[in-house]
């Protein structure tokens, strides 16, 4: 059966789904009384409406972007875009954009600014940064960053001499997953994830809601697999869009997934359903694993998870029968409870037992990379200075990486221990929405000598900035070349589709201008970004003009999806094998095989607060986008129908959520539904902005982060579990 765009839409459209941005809407955005009539030109570029980074073909008429389509050759778009990708035009022409540099005149948080020139604003920041360096040392400046702008600002931070970097995409997102996969297989699962979805016969999604989580080619491959008859098993306390495509929906009691995984491993081993040859050849520690999981019987797991024994056994058998083409998706946002690394380790172990790592339909292998590593830092050829003080950003977590644990930096700022942090650079992340315990974040800001926000939109955190530096959008700028690591290696170029509007500048320019003012000129040896791009292309053996014209170039002969059984395979773990039993964890004082820990369940009268994605928005960043706002203006809190009846609440009622610490949400509409367990409330993430500078997003529903005053940090990875908060419901 051949899958068409319509079938793709069916998957993605499950819950309000994909939206098509109408032509009249574009006209309105452009402020045109009529459609542009000139001859269209088509410019290839790369999307940044989320971090899947699809290839885009932009249609430009009379200097205006009138349409965005998926790049047909780019493996992550395959000729299609999701609603958010189409909605890039709404970002470009959003009248609420930051239009020129700003310097604060009121109190931090008040959002009162005066217009400034770039020179004034950059000099202000550089002066303060030099002062902090002189008084406290460079380590006292921290950077919070997300997205492509990170390339330039991490370079600037390291050149300045600070290690204190925090990326929300790490400890608040995929950090635990990367570490668990490295510990087990010697390599992270990658971005895009190396999930061989289109060839899977069984797909297991644990709290991973494809369709609402709208990563483009992943949705396309999921649709393809479903079309070919793959069995889908969805483990989620909520009947997600993916659950509507599933044969099995297992409405698990939240926080107990590790019990289910251990029981599945138990059944696979006791019933001899594992891939014996693969396990013998490629793995280490099987006997110890078999011994350790004996206690985790399906009978035991039923009590923990609320999933009947018969279903635990039946689903395990289906996996065993279809091995190795079984994809147990490792997830992406894996920051759930305090044991995230061990939970994802259990997924990795189950994957290995089924022989699914490096086999069709499981996790494919990384492509062969013939390219020399040529990062942004390599261009200048000047080494970074050594920092003189310990890094705060990694906390006490032995396996965490340089991308850091944001709450550790916030804690240090508050306590001034082990040393004071006095400056924050915030680039491309809405720290207020992405980070738990907003009160701590706001209190920490009060202690700072400098807060800088480099953003496109006046989101919540911008209100607290001393200086606001407006970046132009991805449609108006060059960025560093993307090395795409899908099944093959490819190179993709983001290039300006139109000239920057207003007095906005690209991130590479802002970082360079700051660098020059900080006396770090040798780290930024370019005038124009094309100098850098051309040098990089040369180093990579590529023709820049060809890349500009095509937008995406694949490097032939780099695909390496499956294990070649006839040659020796070495995993990049200490033993060279897949480590079911992890000596690295043992040596660091952690259980070498995942063990189950119980988490607290909601007290009487309270519900567990869970959250997730909606297909037409990316976190908070799109909530003011005129096109996407029209598709979904505010969020609604999901509540089980029987519970609602008991509480005397109806669908559409406005309520306030109050958490265990007495913190109240904005008023939010109630979605009364059978599609959620009675012990949970589900709030789509990213809504409820309190920035009055956003005409559409201002107070548009509830902000889940406001209610996340508590978090549980995973002692292995520093992953910040945010699903340990409980709420009760009051009528608004």
Ligand X SMILES: Nc1nc2c(c(=O)[nH]1)N[C@H]1C(S)=C(S)[C@@H](COP(=O)(O)OP(=O)(O)OC[C@H]3O[C@@H](n4cnc5c(=O)[nH]c(N)nc54)[C@H](O)[C@@H]3O)O[C@H]1N2
| Sites of contact with ligand X (CB under 6 A) | 48, 50-51, 146-147, 149, 168-169, 172-173, 206-209, 213-215, 235-238, 240, 252, 254-255, 257, 331-333, 336, 427-430, 433-434, 454-457, 459, 471, 474, 610-613, 615, 617-621, 682, 685-686, 704-705, 708, 722-723
If contact means CB under 5 to 8 A according to the sort of partner, which of ligand SF4, Mo ion, ligand X, none does residue 159 touch? none
> Sign of the CA dihedral 502, 507, 510, 516?
negative
Nearer to ligand SF4, 88 or 718 (CB): 88
Question: What, of ligand SF4, Mo ion, ligand X, none, does residue 126 touch, CB below 5 to 8 Å by kind?
Answer: none
- CA angle, residues 252, 253, 257, in degrees to nearest 5: 65
Q: Which is nearer to ligand X, 578 or 628 (CB)?
A: 628
Binding partner of residue 216 among ligand SF4, ligand X, Mo ion, none, CB cut-off 5 to 8 Å per kind: ligand SF4
Residue 659 contact partner, candidates ligand X, ligand SF4, Mo ion, none, CB within 5 to 8 A by sort of partner: none
> Which structure tokens are listed for 337?
């409870």
- In whole angstroms, give the CA distance from residue 208 to residue 238: 11
**Which of ligand X, Mo ion, ligand SF4, none does residue 49 bind (CB under 5 to 8 Å by kind)?**
ligand SF4
Token output for 546? 């060809």
Structure tokens at 410: 């916030």
Please provide residue 232's backbone torsions phi and psi, each rounded to the nearest 5 degrees: -105, 130
Pick what 466 binds: ligand X, ligand SF4, Mo ion, none; C-beta below 5 to 8 Å, kind-dependent: none
487 interface partner picked from ligand X, ligand SF4, Mo ion, none, CB below 5 to 8 A per type: none
Task: Choose between 190 and 285: whose C-beta lies nearer to ligand SF4.
Answer: 190
> Which 3 state secondary structure label does DSSP give 438?
helix
Choose among ligand SF4, ligand X, Mo ion, none what residue 85 binds, the Cβ cut-off being 5 to 8 Å by kind.
Answer: ligand SF4
Residue number with CB closer to ligand SF4 (399 or 474) = 474
Name the token pair of 368.
């062969």
Taking the C-alpha atoms of residue 392 and residue 162, their distance in angstroms, rounded to an integer, is: 10
Nearest residue to ligand SF4, by Cβ distance, number only: 85
CA-to-CA distance for 156 and 122, rounded, in angstroms? Answer: 14
Q: Which partner, Mo ion, ligand SF4, ligand X, none, binds residue 146 by CB below 5 to 8 Å per kind?
A: ligand X
d(CA 16, CA 4): 19
Q: Which does 621 bind (CB under 5 to 8 A by kind): ligand SF4, ligand X, Mo ion, none?
A: ligand X
Q: Closest separation between CB of residue 83 and ligand X, Å?
A: 8
What backbone torsions phi and psi does residue 198 show, to the nearest 5 degrees?
-65, -20
Shortest gap between Cβ of 684 and ligand X (angstroms)? Answer: 9
β-pairing, 607-612 vs 726-731, is: antiparallel
Q: Which is nearer to Mo ion, 147 or 420 (CB)?
A: 147
| Cβ proximity to ligand X, 250 vs 555, nearer residue | 250
- How far is 276 from 269, CA to CA, in rounded Å? 10
Closest to ligand SF4 by CB, 85 or 436: 85
Q: Which residue has the tokens 């974040």?
A: 441
Q: How far is the CB of 557 from ligand SF4 (least distance, A)?
A: 26
Q: In 635-728, which residue ranges form alpha helices assigned H by DSSP?
A: 641-647, 704-707
Residue 514 CA to its chain's centroid (Å): 28
Closest CA to 344 of 716, 684, 726, 725: 716
Please give the Cα distance from 4 to 363 (Å, whole number): 25
CB of 210 to ligand SF4, least distance (A): 12
Query: Which residues, 6+ apart, have CB-to-CB distance to 401 below 8 Å?
Result: 170, 175, 178, 179, 394
CB 181 within 8 A of CB 194: no
State the minimum distance, in angstroms, from the CB of residue 581 to ligand SF4: 37
Nearer to Mo ion, 138 or 615 (CB): 615
- When the beta carbons of 476 and 579 are compared against ligand X, the nearer one is 476
Could you tell me the sign of the dihedral formed by the alpha carbons of 671, 673, 679, 682, in that order?
negative
> Is 57:68 a contact under the CB 8 Å cutoff?
yes
Max Cα separation, the chain? 73
Report how far residue 713's alpha carbon sits from residue 440's, in angstroms, rounded to the nearest whole number: 16
| Cβ 608 to ligand X shortest distance, Å | 8
Q: Which residues bind Mo ion (CB under 5 A)?
A: 173, 333
> CA 621, 624, 625, 628 torsion: positive or negative?
positive
Residue number, 333 or 677, with CB nearest to Mo ion:
333
Contact footprint for ligand SF4 (CB under 6 A): 47, 49-50, 52-54, 81-82, 84-85, 214-216
* CB of 434 vs Mo ion, minimal distance in Å: 9
Which C-beta is closer to ligand SF4: that of 68 or that of 412?
68
- Minimum distance of Mo ion from residue 174's CB (angstroms): 6
User: Among ligand SF4, ligand X, Mo ion, none, what does residue 471 contact (CB within 5–8 Å per kind)?
Assistant: ligand X
């Amino acid at each position: 059966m051949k899958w068409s765009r319509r079938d793709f839409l069916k998957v993605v459209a499950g819950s309000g789904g994909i939206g098509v941005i109408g032509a009249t809407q574009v006209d309105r955005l452009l402020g045109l009384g009529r459609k542009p009539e000139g001859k269209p030109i088509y410019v290839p570029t790369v999307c940044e409406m989320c971090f899947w980074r699809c290839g885009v073909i932009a249609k430009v008429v009379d200097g205006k972007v009138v349409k965005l389509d998926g790049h047909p050759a780019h493996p992550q778009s395959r000729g299609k875009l999701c609603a958010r990708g189409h909605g890039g035009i709404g970002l470009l022409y959003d009248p609420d954009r930051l239009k020129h540099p700003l310097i604060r005149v009121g109190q931090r948080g008040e959002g009162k600014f005066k217009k400034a020139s770039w020179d004034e604003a950059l000099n202000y920041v550089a002066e303060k940064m030099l002062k902090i360096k002189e008084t406290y040392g460079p380590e006292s400046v921290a950077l919070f960053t997300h997205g492509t702008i990170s390339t330039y600002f991490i370079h600037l931070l390291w050149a300045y001499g600070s290690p204190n970097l925090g990326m929300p995409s790490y400890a608040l997102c995929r950090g635990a997953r990367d570490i668990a996969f490295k510990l087990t297989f010697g390599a992270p699962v990658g971005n895009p994830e190396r999930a061989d979805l289109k060839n899977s016969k069984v797909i297991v999604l644990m709290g991973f809601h494809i369709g609402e989580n709208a990563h483009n080619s992943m949705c396309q491959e999921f649709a393809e697999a479903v079309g070919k008859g793959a069995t889908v098993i969805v483990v989620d306390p909520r009947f997600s869009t993916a659950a509507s495509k599933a044969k099995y929906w297992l409405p698990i009691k939240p926080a107990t997934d590790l019990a289910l995984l251990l029981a599945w491993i138990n059944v696979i081993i006791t019933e001899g359903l594992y891939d014996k040859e693969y396990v013998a050849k490629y793995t280490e520690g099987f006997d110890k694993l078999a011994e350790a999981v004996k206690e985790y019987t399906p009978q035991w797991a039923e009590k923990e998870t609320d999933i009947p024994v018969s279903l635990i056994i039946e689903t395990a058998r289906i996996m065993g029968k279809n091995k190795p083409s079984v994809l147990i998706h490792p997830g992406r946002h894996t920051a759930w409870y305090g044991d995230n690394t061990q939970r994802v380790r259990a997924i990795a172990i189950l994957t290995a037992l089924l022989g699914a790592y490096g086999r069709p339909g499981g996790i494919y292998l990384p492509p062969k990379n013939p390219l020399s590593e040529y990062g942004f830092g390599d261009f200048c050829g000047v080494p970074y200075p050594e920092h003189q003080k310990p890094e705060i950003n990694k906390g006490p977590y032995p396996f965490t990486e340089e991308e850091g644990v944001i709450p550790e930096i916030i804690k240090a700022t508050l306590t001034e221990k082990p040393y004071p942090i006095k400056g924050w650079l915030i680039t491309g992340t809405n720290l207020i929405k992405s980070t738990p315990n907003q009160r701590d974040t706001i209190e920490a800001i009060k202690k700072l000598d400098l807060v800088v926000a480099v953003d496109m939109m006046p989101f919540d955190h911008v209100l607290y900035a001393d200086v606001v530096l407006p970046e132009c959008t991805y449609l108006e700028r060059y960025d560093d070349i993307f090395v795409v690591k899908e099944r093959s290696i490819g190179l993709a170029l983001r290039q300006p589709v139109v000239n920057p509007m207003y007095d906005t500048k690209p991130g590479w320019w802002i970082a360079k201008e700051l660098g020059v003012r900080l006396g770090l000129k040798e780290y930024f040896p370019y005038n124009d970004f094309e100098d850098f791009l051309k040098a990089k292309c040369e180093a990579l053996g590529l023709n820049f003009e060809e890349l500009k014209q095509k937008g995406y170039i694949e490097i032939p002969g780099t695909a390496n999806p499956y294990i070649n059984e006839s040659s020796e395979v070495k995993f990049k773990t200490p033993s060279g094998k897949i480590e079911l039993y992890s000596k690295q964890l043992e040596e660091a004082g952690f259980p070498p095989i995942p063990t189950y820990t119980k988490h607290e369940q909601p007290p009487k009268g309270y519900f567990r607060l869970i959250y997730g994605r909606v297909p037409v928005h990316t976190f908070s960043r799109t909530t003011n986008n005129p096109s996407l706002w029209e598709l979904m203006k505010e969020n609604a809190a999901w509540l089980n129908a029987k519970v609602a009846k008991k509480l005397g609440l109806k669908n559409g009622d406005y309520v306030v959520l109050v958490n265990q610490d007495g913190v109240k949400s904005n008023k939010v509409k109630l979605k009364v539904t059978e599609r959620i367990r009675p012990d949970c409330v589900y709030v789509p993430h990213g809504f409820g902005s309190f920035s009055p500078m956003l005409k559409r997003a201002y107070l548009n529903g509830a902000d889940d982060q406001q209610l996340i005053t508590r978090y549980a940090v995973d002692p292995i990875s520093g992953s910040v579990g945010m699903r340990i908060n409980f709420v009760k419901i009051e009528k608004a």
